[in-house]
Amino acid sequence: MPHTDFTVLPGTPQPLGATWDGEGTNFALFSANATKVELCIFDDDGKEEIARITLPEFTNQIYHGFLPDLKPGTLYGYRVHGPYEPHNGHRFNPNKLLLDPYARGHVGDIIWDPAVFGYQLETGDDTTFDERDSAAFIPKCVVVDRDFDWKEDPDWQQVPWERTIVYETHVKGFTKQHPKVPEGERGTYKGLANPAVTDYIKSLGVTTVELLPVHTFVADQFLIEKGMTNFWGYNSIGFFAPDPRYAVSPKGSVQEFKDMVARFHDAGLEVILDVVFNHTAEGNEKGATLSFKGIDNASYYSLQPDNPRFYNNDSGTGNTFNLSHPQVTRLVSDSLRYWVQEMHIDGYRFDLGTVLGRTPTGFDKNSAFLQHCGLDPVISSVKLIAEPWDIGPGGYQVGNFPPGWAEWNDKFRDVVRSFWKGSAGVKELVPRLCGSADAFNHDGRRPWASVNFIAAHDGFTINDLVTYNEKHNDANGEDNKDGSSNNESWNCGVEGPTDDETINLLREKQIRNLIATLMFSQGTPMLLAGDEFGRSQGGNNNAYCQDSDISWINWEIEHKGQSLIRFVQKLTTLRQTYPMLHYTRFLNGELKEDIDTKDVTWIKEDGTEFSPEDWDDGERKRVGMLLDVRGYASDTSKAQEDCPLLILFNSHHEDVDFVLPEHIGGSTWKLLLDTNQPDMTDGSTIENSKPLKLVSRSLSLLALQLTPEA
């Protein structure tokens, strides 16, 4: 039995977690239904429990105590006593070591042993009670010193939404094979902070790096047994701790993460975290007891009201975090504030965000949590992005989040894929080019609320989108049954890689078409890391379990990949240069009579405007998008960069002579970009009413050359 010769003082119930104040550490843990809480202190290796201390005070449902002289670096966990009554929603078992929900640091990995389950695993009956000690198999919490010299970071200014270009990546996958990162730092926060990495990302013209989950997460037992792991990290168990697997020194994970953020800010790049508050890694009633389940199961989880032994499962992972409970809402809010105030991150993308707005009557954009995020002075000061769907009833909520939120827009993804594949027409494409006003133009929301993407971590890369008609997920060990079969992909005639140069050239052009459409559409573009040089996952569209070459970015970039990088850099430069490509208001196509023009006009091949009858032709595959917001808003000027723009789309398999329209203010158009000429340096100038050859499956961008009096 461990000794208990530590001095213990009453301490305070606030703040929750383990807080070092320079003289000792205060411990505070919420549990509404526990009867006793024991703090367990471990040796430096986390193997031996050297002290077990009953927290002496219980104030407002919070157990607390203060240990003088207990310093940062100390490893600890909790044992929580109370009723083991699964039928009443209670699963207390003091034989199980539990992670502190507010722990700022973790060390070690879970070892999947029957002892980590609160019930006798061998029986399969979760109403049984297991007496085995789980401490040897559970990660340990770390008391953290919060001190860090941010130097110039307080002067950091976030990127305005309308100028934001998101770059989604994975801490480990991005640098695991990076030749300019020291081998011992590859796959870590420190590796991602390497100047070679930040300089490259900055060079792309993106502004904001969105990291897949970095909260401490658990690798599922069934994956470990198959020799795989939960690579993406959507299985959180600690909402305040950066995962130690991404640290060179696990005990120093907080410092390493802070340094990474500081280096990104030095490079002028924002950092956004993908966060998972919809569920935890503890699974359903048959899952392990790691933290919340053993601390206060009935408070932390959404249980079935008629039988609280079982969990509501709106997340599809076995449980749903109970954001209807004020203490759970507080935990999530405290976590969000912590990562902003202490770790200096610039925003969040909320996985399965619909769960966060669920009430007993269904999704409600006015739910307490969603409204709280919009009103809290800290949380509302950063970017908030929802994945606006879950698997629960009424789970698809694209466009229905409150003002102040942005949302992933899968409508954009699906329609743009279909258009360039050839299965969707102009009529379907047009709303997506305009920021999906049909979904987002309400409550004073702006076009940036639509986060547009062609590819994300979940699904095909853009290269694979034009290389495979079918998913190829055999490496996942599920007989290729996992992952979506509805990808709107087109292999251009051959499944997989080919030596056919004609097909390869078409694929490269299709990639350029897709990314150009993304960058020239109203809304906030998001680019998947590696898509800028044609990265492939071999047709795997569900690489969540692949900590391997499938998921790791290969930095041996071929000539065609380098060409695509240059093309993407040109796209981002054009987007930032021309305000009409990141306009702050929704386009409506209404005539502004005092200047005799519209903010957007849709042009046919003959250079004339679309008529109502033209829109009835659902098979149209060509359209010109004429943008001119001069005189519409105070946020534009008379600079050359505000000149009208014309974007021409042709997803048809035949070339067309596209007559350039006459337009007020100028008589010639200059070709700025052509996806059929990726390395074009200085485009030609074409007079009004003259044709431009728009080749099959291509996109062109032109700018009106304004006359001085315009």
Q: What is the DSSP string of 665-697?
A: TEEEEEEEEETTSTT--S--EEETT-EEEE-SS
Catalytic residue among 100, 243, 274, 387: 387
Task: State the Cα–Cα distance between residues 194 and 184, nearest whole angstrom.
Answer: 12
Contact 564, 555 (CB under 8 A): no
> Please, which residues have CB within 8 angstroms of residue 501's CB and are 6 or more apart in sequence?
none
Nearest to 510 by CA among 437, 557, 455, 592: 455
Contact 614, 656 (CB under 8 A): no
Q: What is the token pair recorded at 463? A: 């290269």
Strands 166-169 and 524-528: parallel
Task: State the Cα–Cα distance between residues 589 and 600, nearest whole angstrom.
Answer: 5
3-state secondary structure of 129: coil
Give helix 326-341 / helix 292-300 axis angle, nearest 10°: 120
For the question of residue 259 being annotated catalytic, the response is no
Catalytic residue among 49, 168, 296, 351: 351
- Other CB atoms closer than 10 Å to residue 613's CB: what's the count? 7
For the question of residue 605 being annotated catalytic, the response is no
Q: What is the DSSP string of 441-502?
A: -STT--GGGEEEES--SSS--HHHHTT-SS---GGGTSTT-SS-S------TTSSS----HH
Contact 181, 260 (CB under 8 A): no
> Please, which residues have CB within 8 angstroms of residue 45's CB and are 6 or more apart in sequence?
none
Task: State the Cα–Cα distance between residues 233 and 239, nearest whole angstrom.
Answer: 12
Distance (Å) of CA 538 to CA 188, 340, 462, 465, 495: 25, 37, 12, 11, 11
Task: State the Cα–Cα distance between residues 279 and 159, nearest whole angstrom.
Answer: 30
φ/ψ of 110, rounded to 5, equals -70, 140
Task: State the Cα–Cα distance between residues 351 and 386, nearest whole angstrom.
Answer: 7
Task: State the Cα–Cα distance between residues 497 and 504, nearest whole angstrom.
Answer: 8
Q: Residue by residue, what is the 3-state secondary structure of 274-299? A: EECCCCCCCCCCCCCCCCHHHHHHHH
Contact 38, 78 (CB under 8 A): yes
Distance (Å) of CA 80 to CA 40, 52, 231, 647: 11, 12, 31, 63
Partner residues linked to 694 by β-bridges: 656
Q: What is the token pair recorded at 148? A: 């860090």
Residue type, 664: I
Active site residues: 351, 387
